Amino acid sequence: MKLDTADRDILRLLQTNSQLTMKELSEQVNLSITPIHERIRKLEKSGHIDRYVALLNRKKMGKALLVYCNVTLDKQRRESFEEFNEAVKRMPEVMECCVVSGNFDYLLKVVAEDMEDYNNFYQQNLSVLQSVQHISSFFVMSEIKSTTQLPV
Amino acid sequence: MKLDTADRDILRLLQTNSQLTMKELSEQVNLSITPIHERIRKLEKSGHIDRYVALLNRKKMGKALLVYCNVTLDKQRRESFEEFNEAVKRMPEVMECCVVSGNFDYLLKVVAEDMEDYNNFYQQNLSVLQSVQHISSFFVMSEIKSTTQLPV
DNA sequence: GTTGAAACCGGTTGTCT
DNA sequence: AGACAACCGGTTTCAAC
């Protein structure tokens, strides 16, 4: 499915505020309500729009500490990767996890209340995994930018 | 403001789907519509709920390449940090940017269409900044987990 | 915090251009 | 494919418990 300018405009707007009314969207996109409605329906069905969510304020939710960590797995064990992937999916503290090129295997983004909370997570959840060989943590001192908006 | 179990339930639900109706929420939280409504209003006003957004599918949007990069700044120049921060905020390709502990200064999460697109960004936008001394890029080979849901 | 009612919007659908 | 209008469902507000 190919997107035109109007589709892109709609996506750009919904990425910043999903509660805009059809009327507000129609004014900003220069289309009447009917086509706006139809286009959104198609964008949802095609999967361009994945879901609608509420974004919470991390600090207000008591997760003041943000940590990125590099994890190296024990590559001798063939099951290591599957094991680690599944474990990470079940950890609510881990918000992002991916396999990266370079000299470590995984990059994780982890939230915690404070250093003590992170230490508990580290000791009790992360380092206990059989598949984990090495972990190094990078603590976020200042968050310059954090957005869910993809360039459209 | 202190959150009770009902507030947490509401936040947990809205983080996965912000389009649940008051009726659906009231059924899952075991409260009637009136208090659900009132609690959401308070959570919005207190800032626990930051905003409502549509999340798009990165690959469907043609951003197949995901890259994390470590950036080291030229620390001789005092304006470096402010300059770099402001530049990054203006780059739509950069979805996350933070100052981290360790042997580099910044960690960036960048999306691009493909390697060529990333190379253009790298050469024309990132490496040209006066403040930048060194960049190393880590390419994401597999995304295991990516969520906006904070643990509640 | 609950229920019920009423008013108001906005989403949804059908028809016409 | 887009505009218009009527309908319907959900949100919002209120009063009484």
SS3 B72: strand
In this structure, the number of other CB atoms found within 10 A of the CB of residue B150 comes to 20
Model's pTM, two decimal places?
0.96
For residue A110, what is the nearest residue in chain B, using CA coordinates? B150
Same domain as A110, residue A80: yes
pLDDT attached to residue A77? 82
Domain that holds residue B127: 65-139
pLDDT attached to residue A140? 98
The phi-psi region of residue B49 (left if phi > 0; otherwise alpha if psi is between -120 and 50; otherwise beta) is beta
User: What's the burial of B45, exposed, middle or buried (CB within 10 Å: 0-12/13-18/19+)?
Assistant: exposed
Q: What is the pLDDT of residues B25-75, one digit of tens each?
A: 999 999 999 999 999 999 999 999 999 999 999 999 999 999 999 999 998
CB distance B144–A89 less than 8 Å?
yes
Q: Is residue B10 part of a domain?
A: yes
Q: Measure, in angstroms, how far nucleotide D5 C1' is from residue A39 CA.
A: 20
Q: Is residue A75 part of a domain?
A: yes
In this structure, the number of other CB atoms found within 10 A of the CB of residue A128 comes to 10
Tell me what the mean pLDDT of segment B79-86 comes to: 93
Q: Is residue A56 part of a domain?
A: no
Same domain as A73, residue A38: no
Q: Is residue B152 part of a domain?
A: no
For residue A82, what is the nearest residue in chain B, using CA coordinates? B144
Q: How many CA atoms lie within 13 A of B87 on its CB side?
A: 17
Contact call for residues B52 and A19 (beta carbons, < 8 A): yes
CATH number (domain holding residue A17): 1.10.10.10
CA of B35: nearest nucleotide by C1' is C1
Q: In chain A, how many domains are there?
A: 2
Q: Which of A50, A102, A150 sits opposite B111 (nearest CB)?
A: A150
Report how far apart, in Å, the C-alpha atoms of A131 and of each of A70, A109, A121 are: 14, 18, 16
Contact call for residues B111 and B69 (beta carbons, < 8 A): no
**CB of A18 under 7 A from strand C?**
no
CA of B31: nearest nucleotide by C1' is C1
Stated as kind and residue range, the H or E segment containing B111 is: strand B106-112
| Res. A146: pLDDT tops 80 | yes
Say which amino acid occupies A61: M
Contact call for residues A47 and B138 (beta carbons, < 8 A): no
Best residue of B52, B73, B104, B105 to probe chain A, by most A CBs closer than 10 Å: B52
Q: Which chain B residues contact residue A110 at CB under 8 A?
A: none
Same domain as B78, residue B135: yes
**CB of A21 under 7 A from strand C?**
yes
| Res. A128: pLDDT tops 80 | yes
Contact call for residues B94 and B40 (beta carbons, < 8 A): no
User: What's the burial of B106, exposed, middle or buried (CB within 10 Å: 0-12/13-18/19+)?
Assistant: buried
Contact call for residues A112 and A121 (beta carbons, < 8 A): yes
Inter-chain CB pairs, A–B, below 8 Å: 202
Residue A144's nearest CA partner among B133, B104, B75, B83 is B83
Q: State percent of chain B over pLDDT 90.
A: 93
pLDDT attached to residue A86? 97
The radius of gyration of chain A's CA atoms, rounded to the nearest angstrom, is 20
Angle, vertex CA B1, rays to CA A149 and CA B5, nearest 5: 85
pLDDT attached to residue B24? 96
Same domain as B76, residue B33: no
Q: Measure, in angstroms, how far nucleotide C15 C1' is from residue A34 CA.
A: 13
Q: pLDDT band for position A76 (50/70/90)?
A: confident
Q: What is the pLDDT of residues B86-130, one digit of tens each?
A: 999 999 999 999 999 988 799 999 999 999 999 999 999 999 999
Q: Is residue B126 part of a domain?
A: yes
| Res. A104: pLDDT tops 80 | no
User: What's the burial of A34, exposed, middle or buried (CB within 10 Å: 0-12/13-18/19+)?
Assistant: exposed
Same domain as B128, residue B69: yes
Same domain as B70, residue B39: no
| Res. B79: pLDDT tops 90 | no
In angstroms, the CA B29 to CA B48 distance is 18
Tell me what the mean pLDDT of segment B77-94 comes to: 94
Helix orientation angle between A5-16 and A33-45, rounded to the nearest 10 degrees: 80
Residue where the block lists tokens 């304006």: B79
pLDDT attached to residue B76? 78
pLDDT attached to residue B75? 82
Residue A10's DSSP bridge partners are none
pLDDT attached to residue B124? 98
Interface subset of A 9-68, CB within 8 angstroms of B: 11, 14-19, 46-58, 60-61, 63, 66, 68
CATH number (domain holding residue A96): 3.30.70.920
List all nucleotides in chain D with at least one atom under 7 A from a protein Cβ: 1-5, 10-15
Residue A118's nearest CA partner among A99, A143, A135, A98 is A135
Same domain as B121, residue B84: yes
Average pLDDT, chain A: 96
